[in-house]
Amino acid sequence: MAIQDLIQRGTRWRIGSSERIKVWGDAWLLDEDNPTVVTPCIEGMEGTMVNSLILPNARWNFALIDTYSLAEIEI
């Protein structure tokens, strides 16, 4: 069990298309000390995926990020 914990704490995944990475709950932020979004999840948005925050031109959807008040996202 200790090895599994060590691996989970020391690894990150590559975002890629971000279709399977949840905004709330998954470790996807660049901050090594706090790789998960700590902003409280909006009711009904628990399953929101990171790709919903990205526009077709591969840029962040600032309007949506501001709506969610996701200050943790480095943009």
What is the reported pLDDT for 2? 62
What range defines the domain where residue 36 resides?
Answer: 3-72
30-45: b (≥16 Cβ within 10 Å) or e: eeeeeeebeeeeeeee
H helices within 1-75, ranges in order?
2-10, 62-68
What is the reported pLDDT for 8? 61
What is the reported pLDDT for 35? 86
Number of compact structural domains in the chain: 1
pLDDT, one tens digit for every residue, the chain (75 residues): 566 665 566 665 566 667 788 999 898 888 878 888 888 888 888 899 998 988 999 888 888 888 777 766 665
What is the reported pLDDT for 1? 54
Closest CA to 52 of 28, 15, 23: 23
